[in-house]
Amino acid sequence: MPSSLSCAKLSTWIAAAALLQMIGLSLFVLGFFPVKPALSGVSGPDSYRVPKCDSAEDRDEMPMIPPDQLRSSYREMSGISPFYDRLILVVIDGLPAEFVLGKNNEPPTMAMMEAMPYTQALLSNGKATGFHAKAAPPTVTMPRLKAMVSGAIGGFLDVAFNFDTQAFLDDNLLGQFNSIGWKMVMLGDETWIKLFPGLFMRQDGVSSFFVKDTIQVDYNVSRHLEAELQSDDWNVLILHYLGLDHVGHIGGRNSILMLPKLKEMDDVVMRIHQSISSPHDTHHRRTLLVIASDHGMTESGNHGGSSYEETDSLAIFIGLESKLPEYAPATCKTVSQVDLAPTLALLLGVPIPKNNAGILIAEIFDFLSDGELLRALELNSWQLLRLLQAQLPGLLCSNRAYSYLEYERSLRDNACKVSSVEDKFGCLFSKATALHDCWRSHEGRDVRSNRESVEFKETLVAYYDFLTDASEWLSWRATDKPFEFLVPGIIALLVSCCLFLSILFRLCREASLRRKHQHLDSLNPKMELYLDETFVIVFIFILVISMGSSSMVEEEQYIWHFMTSTLYFIFLRKSIQLLLTAEAQKLRNGNKGPWYSKYYQFCSIVVVLVCGRVLRGWHQGGVNWVHLPDISTWLEKVGPHFIQLIKLGSMLFVVSFGIFGHCRSKSKGIFVLLIRGSFFVSGLLLLYLMKYQDHTIASSGPSSTLIAQIVFLILGVTVIVGALKFSWTVPLSNDASSAEPLSMIYCSIHQHICDPFLGLRCSAYSIGWIFMTCWCILQLLLQRPTNAMPISLLLLQILASMLYFSLHGHHREWVEVAALYFLGLAGHFGLGNSNSIATIDVAGAFTGISSHSTFLSGILMFIITYASPLLCLLSMIMYASVKDEGALLSGWDVDLGVLLQSLIAFPCVVPLSLNSVLLTTCTIILLLMRNHLFIWSVFSPKYLYACAATVCVYIGVSVVAATGIYVCSIYFFRRKISSNQYTAAKNPN
């Protein structure tokens, strides 16, 4: 029966739909995640003048005066006495404030306190003031450093830019320090050098991404410490220690290396503090020491999301003029991380950066006089007002004059409850200004005016009302989203989705018509036999609906585990029905063949369900129940030896599959032996590498790196050579004299002894076998040791599904492909992944890499994260070989396009269609939820995962399509040569 949808036409429509999807996705991403707009220029003398109606009017260019004069001018205009001449900023990457300050008004654990005795003594004696500095998501280093030095709320896509840091051109503290002639030294994370090139007098940067290094990365900083503390040629010293963050990535919060690393950091604090407070200091310069962290970490040691553990960063101020014990209770206080920028700017005598959204920390300025404290709040208010005017141009532009008299009778009645945002901020600012003017007038004639006076307290409250509301509004306000990009992007995605679904519908209809034409459709018309198809459609519908709930997005793994197991329970129900039917036939006529076949079907589904249940309990993913016990946590508590034993068993299973999975193939030459030998050697190398690994420590030594690189090379050569060579080595067809099934999976097709396409299917099976084996070996190398068993369980699920589908002719092909696709996504969450950026495994991305490479580590990170979906997509090549579609074709005389379409059409179109539905749904929901409270913490990370999953599907489908085209082309080429040789031998003349 000729097909109305030719292979060329099908390929054209698929390419058009894919291109349209990429265009729509690009437009939407560029529109929804623009680079955050910022005020141009830098703060200068205008910072010390009250803003006008049009803030553009008072934007001065940076004055061209000598740095010393500019520094003096700033301090004179600020009206605040100068405090410090030098700053030492120590950034301990990944240190949760909970480790130092405790949690929920409870002190830290005794082990944590004993690990940092000197720091705890400073806090308890009132010589240091500590804060929980809440970091905004995404909690990765680069945007957090920007927030600390500029006070600006970064764009969400900074999580991507974190791996390719560019120079930071917005107004920031370091630029202000440079403008007043301060000399700066930076030691540690090279992110600082990339953000601020050319600003540092001396620098020694180390890579922040090579997380296997927990020792040398901090030694490179501390080895300069003694010399720098004795030096008098710098004003700002930045020390960024990375070892604690790396310890977390490798072994989590409870790593055996965590307490020694905290002790090492405490020694650094002690050395610095004793140096700056020594009575023998000959420099006589006032130095402020700030200990800060850029973000926290989860229990597993990762970060990037918005959970409390990840956003709980630290800020400790040491060296304040006041040493009163009442500073100790401040350790329970919470501030925002962006509050560091205005606080440090006012303490060190430079203007607050233009794009700052933070508020100065009041406790730090408690030692100021009343007038200086209110002046500091006034300068902070002026800066935030200018930032508000950039987004609310009408602010303070009305002709109405605000005065204190308008508020005198309603100070305690929230008089600024007005309808528009502009009026609200105008009212709050004018109220604070009027109260401040009133306080000044009272101060001039009342010598008893002090911090306890009513006027001072009311002014203080009014300023903080304005500052708090302005900061929250600026932090909450999403960047403008140009609808000229969003609307065309969504339309393109919708059209692309409709195209993919229409292609899939056409393929299903033609497959059904072809089966009926060949009288091969074993599905009877009863409605119950279409239960699997109905369930898949309902499954997709439920998933689409659930994407609108933030809680369901956070706990998406439950949907995939439940729905995938339910689909296989439907398969189990069908296999039981067929098993009972076969049993009845066996009792009637004694025919055992059908009974054994149906028994294999039943057992294969049971294997899939059992493995799925184990995968479901391996990791507690999501957010709400991540603290509950799971198998991986239990294994880590048992000890590394048990984990290594499980990994050894998983490795033996995978390597055995690679060696014996093709043992009954017709290709038994030296080439097949070499392929099996490569699997054996890879297994031995993995066995050797196990001595470098346990559940907390991963070595980055040259020996393990070299062995990992050898494994990469072996697997790469095996895949390339095997894929190219196998199509030339297998026989073109099988006959009765040499018939032998390819493997256990082929037990259902042994009756097709004269199948003319058996050689083609053997080629596809052999290449799929190589792809799956190499991929699993690669994952055993890259994944955490506790994830070795899930990899082998996932492989077992796929093989059992292959066996079931090859023996069973009672399911539509698109349902079977969808089932494999669902297995991949359920396995994705079974490996510990979630919709939070914090679950990305950074440590494994540096396996086999001797030095940091953003490109290579990014590829490995993608491979680790999407191990399960890509494995199931690669298995589509083997799936195409075990499905006996040859009977649907008209023997030898068949067109290449028809054969190619029957081989790979469904394995390519079904994943593309399902992914298109999910991507389009996530896009629409992201737009609808653009003003939702959890837009940046829940929905945006989910959308980034959806985009990455789209890349994963395109990679997998491209491999399947390229392999299918190559195998079919070589098959037809060899068949043509064989036919010519047969003709020449038959007609020698």
573-599 confidence digits (pLDDT tens):
888 887 777 666 666 665 555 556 677
Mean pLDDT, rounded, of the chain: 80
pLDDT at residue 892 tops 60: no
Res 454: pLDDT: 77
Q: How many helices (H) and strands (E) does the chain have?
A: 34, 8
Tokens of 930: 């653009």
Summarize pLDDT for 106-119 with one digit per residue, the tens.
888 899 999 999 99
Res 889: pLDDT: 52
The reply to whether 63 falls in a domain is no
Summarize pLDDT for 163-188 with one digit per residue, the tens.
555 678 888 999 999 988 899 999 98
Summarize pLDDT for 510-523 with one digit per residue, the tens.
877 776 665 555 44
CA–CA gap between residue 726 and residue 516 (Å, rounded): 34
Domain boundary among 321, 337, 367: 367
Rounded to an integer, the average pLDDT of 335-355 is: 91
Task: Clarify whether residues 363 and 394 are in a common domain.
Answer: no
Res 158: pLDDT: 60
Res 736: pLDDT: 37
Q: pLDDT class for 985, splitting at 50, 70, 90?
A: low
CA–CA gap between residue 639 and residue 635 (Å, rounded): 6
The reply to whether 749 falls in a domain is yes
Res 161: pLDDT: 55
Task: Clarify whether residues 17 and 142 are in a common domain.
Answer: no
Task: Clarify whether residues 634 and 689 are in a common domain.
Answer: yes
Q: Which of 488-492, 601-605, 922-926 has the lowest mean pLDDT?
A: 601-605
Rounded to an integer, the average pLDDT of 740-755 is: 42
Domain boundary among 336, 367, 398: 367
Task: Clarify whether residues 123 and 225 are in a common domain.
Answer: yes
The reply to whether 218 falls in a domain is yes
Rounded to an integer, the average pLDDT of 85-95 is: 93
Parallel, antiparallel, or unpaired for β 236-241 and 86-92? parallel
Task: Clarify whether residues 787 and 668 are in a common domain.
Answer: yes
Q: Which of 56-65, 115-124, 603-612, 627-636 has the lowest mean pLDDT?
A: 56-65
The reply to whether 74 falls in a domain is no
Question: How far, CA to CA in Å, does 527 sit from each of 235, 521, 524, 533?
Answer: 80, 15, 9, 10
**In the chain, what is the greatest distance between 2 CA atoms, to the nearest angstrom?**
127
Task: Clarify whether residues 448 and 577 are in a common domain.
Answer: no
Res 272: pLDDT: 93
The reply to whether 52 falls in a domain is no
Which one, of 568, 632, 565, lies nearest residue 831 by Cα? 632
Task: Clarify whether residues 570 and 447 are in a common domain.
Answer: no
The reply to whether 106 falls in a domain is yes
The reply to whether 48 falls in a domain is no
DSSP 693: B
- Residue 965, classified by CB atoms within 10 Å of its CB into exposed (0-12), middle (13-18) or buried (19+), is middle
Summarize pLDDT for 825-870 with one digit per residue, the tens.
999 999 988 888 878 887 788 888 877 677 888 899 999 999 999 9
Task: Clarify whether residues 921 and 905 are in a common domain.
Answer: yes
Rounded to an integer, the average pLDDT of 950-968 is: 93
Q: Which domain holds residue 91?
A: 84-367
Q: Which residues contact 434 (CB under 8 A, 6 or more apart)?
A: 402, 403, 404, 406, 407
Res 405: pLDDT: 47
Res 326: pLDDT: 44
CA–CA gap between residue 241 and residue 188 (Å, rounded): 6
CA–CA gap between residue 599 and residue 440 (Å, rounded): 92
CATH code (residue 172) = 3.40.720.10
| Angle, in degrees to the nearest 10, between helices 867-882 and 940-986 | 30
| Number of compact structural domains in the chain | 3
Q: pLDDT class for 920, splitting at 50, 70, 90?
A: very high
Determine the distance from the C-alpha atom of residue 746 to the mean position of all C-alpha atoms in its chain, rounded to a whole number: 40
Res 584: pLDDT: 66
Task: Clarify whether residues 465 and 500 are in a common domain.
Answer: no
List, in sequence order, the alpha helices (H) in 165-257. Answer: 173-179, 191-195, 216-222, 225-230, 243-251
CA–CA gap between residue 663 and residue 496 (Å, rounded): 44
Summarize pLDDT for 427-450 with one digit per residue, the tens.
888 888 888 888 887 765 454 446
Q: Which of 236-240, 379-383, 742-746 has the lowest mean pLDDT?
A: 742-746
Summarize pLDDT for 463-475 with one digit per residue, the tens.
988 998 888 888 7
CA–CA gap between residue 229 and residue 322 (Å, rounded): 23
Rounded to an integer, the average pLDDT of 643-650 is: 89
pLDDT at residue 738 tops 70: no
Task: Clarify whether residues 355 and 237 are in a common domain.
Answer: yes
Domain boundary among 345, 367, 389: 367
Rounded to an integer, the average pLDDT of 357-371 is: 85
Q: Do the beta carbons of residue 135 and residue 307 sit within 8 Å?
A: no
Task: Clarify whether residues 143 and 158 are in a common domain.
Answer: yes
Percent residues over pLDDT 90 in the chain: 31
Q: Which of 242-246, 502-506, 606-610, 666-670 has the lowest mean pLDDT?
A: 666-670
Res 923: pLDDT: 93
- Top mean pLDDT of 31-45, 98-112, 422-436 is at 98-112
Task: Clarify whether residues 154 and 20 are in a common domain.
Answer: no
The reply to whether 1 falls in a domain is no
